[in-house]
């Protein structure tokens, strides 16, 4: 017997690929476009969503039998908003530079469709442990895409990864820049994030034909 | 079967209970993290002031502060004096205090003066305090003044370093919530560096300020005495905000620079 039953493990692994919130459910696109110009910001956004969705799902699941159905959406919003404010304050206290980079986007977690979607579709109908796994799975699925997009955008747009110059120095003309490579400024603009997400979706559906919808 | 959670009384009581619990939780978090956040903001102000006078870690095209750990020492080393000018409603300087004099009176460092509050004072016809930081680097003297205004969505602010002719030696702008990629670009180097060398006074010595100009006939900003820098496309209101705060706030320092010249 492993740590997780087969069914529980699927809650984590499914959203990573075949039921990915970004590439399959097409949720949470806004933040994937907005903050992925740097790998560091992508990672922090992924971790923040992991925290908010993991805990939020458990809280909603624990409260699922006492939440009045008439105001359940408001209750969900209050839970997300409170958790987001806590994340924001903690970032301001312990990672100030980062909190400024993320600025409005931490607040944008509130509007991240994935979170309300998981509360409504999963946590309101399942127990806390399952909801926790579902929250972790979905935010990891979200985070994986964010990190892939952030990786390519920062690498091709700035020639750096996490701030380290991996392709050489563009001003001193060392490394790849010595043979005429130039940073692609387009990669730093939001539309290129959409194109990178599109390419990920394309690759994923080419590899797994079952994901392609027939019309 | 009717569920008890569907009744109106239950719904209202639940809502009230939820607000109380969440409110208490957030208040506790905010109160316990407040000292850390205040300390971060204090260091950031020092970093901003140092940035404006050219003490920074700029590399390539991006604006970088010196590291948080080095900031207090660098501030001590580079900022020789922190003056606090008190001006009346007409803009005349009533009093000039040194850092020690101000500290003994207000129990607060001059760089922590809340510019927004001082602007409100001025609006009500009361005297306002103007901090001015005198920095020295490589034999050159910098006068760094804070400015504060409003952009499209929220507050914008900054620090401008001047020499004794009121020519800009460096500038740092920041914002609370301008649009990323548009107005938020006021804190990018390509915009801030354009201000270096711009004159605040016209040829006859009258205060003119600097206009963030659309359709500037001088897009490369070669002419530094035209009192104009090139605007950011798509950020008209933020740019106008920068123009306005430079004009309204730096103008107040002109009497100080006049005195400096006359003595």
Contacts A75 to B, Cβ<8 Å: 14, 18
Decide which of B212 and A212 is more confident: B212
**Strands across the sheet containing B140-150:** B93-97, B79-87, B128-137, B140-150, B155-162, B168-175
E strands within B99-250? Answer: 128-137, 140-150, 155-162, 168-175, 211-213, 228-230
Please write the tens of the pLDDT for every residue from B161-182: 999 889 999 999 999 877 766 7
Contacts of A151 (CB under 8 A, 6+ apart): A39, A42, A161
Please check whether residue B159 lies inside any domain of the structure. yes
CA distance A137 to chain B (A): 26
Averaged pLDDT for residues A140-153: 91
Contacts A96 to B, Cβ<8 Å: 37, 40-41, 44, 68
Q: Are B248 and B238 in contact (CB under 8 A)?
A: no
For chain B, the average pLDDT equals 88
By Cβ distance, the residue of A71, A82, A190 closest to B25 is A82
Please check whether residue B29 lies inside any domain of the structure. no
pLDDT of residue A30: 80
Please check whether residue B17 lies inside any domain of the structure. no
Phi, psi dihedral angles at A174 (to 5 degrees):
-110, 170
CA distance A73 to chain B (A): 12
By Cβ distance, the residue of A34, A66, A90 closest to B33 is A90
pLDDT at B42 over 80: yes
pLDDT of residue B32: 94
Please write the tens of the pLDDT for every residue from B251-260: 999 989 988 8
- Rg of chain A's alpha carbons, rounded to an integer? 19
Q: Tell if the CB–CB gap between A68 and B5 is shorter than 8 Å.
A: yes
Residue B83: its H or E element: strand B79-87
3-state secondary structure at position B134:
strand
Decide which of A133 and B261 is more confident: A133
Q: Are A35 and A94 in contact (CB under 8 A)?
A: no
Chain B, nearest residue to A79 by Cα: B22
Sign of the torsion formed by the C-alpha atoms of B44, B50, B51 and B52: positive
Averaged pLDDT for residues A175-197: 84
Contacts A51 to B, Cβ<8 Å: none
CA distance A156 to chain B (A): 16
By Cβ distance, the residue of B22, B40, B181 closest to A82 is B22
pLDDT of residue B180: 65
Chain B, nearest residue to A92 by Cα: B37
CA distance A202 to chain B (A): 28
Domain limits, chain A: 21-152
Contacts B6 to A, Cβ<8 Å: 68-70
From CA A138, how far away is CA B149, in angstroms rounded? 42
CA distance B30 to chain A (A): 7
Position B1 confidence tier, pLDDT thresholds 50, 70, 90: very low
pTM for the full predicted model: 0.72
Pair of tokens at residue B28: 């506790």
By Cβ distance, the residue of A34, A86, A93 closest to B36 is A93
From CA B38, how far away is CA B100, in angstroms rounded? 22
For chain A, the average pLDDT equals 84
Please check whether residue B234 lies inside any domain of the structure. yes
Q: Which residues of B touch A (CB under 8 A)?
A: 3, 5-6, 10-11, 14-15, 18-19, 22, 25-26, 29-30, 33, 36-37, 40-41, 44, 60, 68, 177, 180-181
When mean pLDDT is compared across A124-138, A169-183, A192-206, B87-101, the lowest value belongs to A169-183
**Alpha helices (runs of H) in chain B, residue ranges in sequence order:** 8-52, 71-78, 99-106, 115-123, 189-192, 236-250, 254-262
Please check whether residue B89 lies inside any domain of the structure. yes
Please write the tens of the pLDDT for every residue from B50-63: 999 988 888 767 78
Please check whether residue B213 lies inside any domain of the structure. yes
B233: containing domain: 51-262
Secondary structure of chain A: what % helix, strand, coil (to 5)?
70, 0, 25
């Amino acid at each position: 017997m492993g740590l997780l039953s087969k069914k529980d493990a699927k809650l984590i692994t499914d959203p990573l690929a075949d039921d990915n919130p970004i590439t399959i459910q097409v949720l949470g696109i806004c933040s994937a476009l907005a903050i992925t110009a740097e790998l560091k910001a992508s990672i922090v956004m992924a971790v923040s969503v992991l925290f908010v969705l993991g805990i939020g799902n458990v809280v909603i699941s624990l409260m699922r039998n006492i939440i009045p159905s008439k105001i359940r959406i408001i209750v969900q919003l209050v839970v997300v908003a409170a958790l987001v404010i806590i994340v924001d304050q903690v970032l301001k206290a312990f990672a100030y530079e980062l909190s400024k980079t993320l600025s409005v986007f931490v607040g944008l977690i509130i509007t991240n469709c994935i979170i309300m979607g998981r509360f409504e579709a999963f946590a309101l109908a399942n127990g806390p442990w399952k909801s926790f796994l579902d929250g972790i799975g979905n935010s990891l699925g979200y985070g994986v895409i964010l990190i892939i997009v952030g990786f390519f955008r920062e690498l091709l747009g700035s020639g750096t990864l996490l701030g380290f110059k991996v392709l050489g120095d563009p001003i001193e003309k060392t490394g790849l820049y010595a043979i005429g490579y130039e940073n692609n400024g387009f990669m730093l603009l939001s539309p290129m994030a959409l194109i990178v997400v599109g390419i990920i979706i394309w690759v994923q559906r080419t590899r797994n034909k079952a994901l392609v919808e027939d019309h | 079967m009717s569920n008890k959670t569907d009744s109106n009384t239950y719904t209202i009581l639940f809502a009230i209970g939820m607000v109380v619990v969440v409110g208490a939780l957030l208040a506790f978090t905010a109160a316990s993290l407040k000292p850390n956040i205040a300390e971060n903001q204090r260091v950031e102000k020092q970093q901003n002031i140092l940035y404006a006078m050219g003490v920074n870690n700029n590399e390539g095209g991006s604006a970088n502060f010196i590291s948080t750990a080095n900031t207090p020492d660098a501030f001590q080393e580079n900022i020789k004096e922190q003056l606090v000018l008190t001006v009346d409603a007409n803009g005349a300087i009533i009093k000039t205090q040194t850092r020690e004099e101000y500290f003994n009176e207000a129990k607060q460092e001059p760089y922590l003066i809340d510019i927004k509050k001082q602007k409100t004072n001025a609006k009500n016809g009361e005297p306002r305090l103007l901090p001015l930081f005198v920095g020295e680097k490589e034999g050159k003297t910098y006068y760094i003044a804070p400015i504060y205004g409003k952009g499209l969505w929220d507050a914008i602010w900054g620090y401008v370093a001047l020499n004794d002719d009121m020519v800009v030696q460096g500038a740092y702008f920041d914002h609370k919530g301008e649009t990323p990629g548009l107005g938020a670009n006021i804190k990018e180097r390509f915009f801030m560096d354009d201000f270096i060398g711009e004159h605040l006074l016209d040829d006859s010595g009258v205060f003119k300020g600097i206009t963030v100009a659309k359709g500037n006939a001088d897009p490369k900003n070669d002419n530094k005495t035209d009192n104009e820098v090139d605007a950011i496309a798509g950020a008209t209101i933020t740019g106008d905000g920068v123009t306005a705060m430079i004009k309204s706030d730096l103008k107040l320092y002109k009497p100080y620079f006049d005195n400096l010249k006359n003595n």
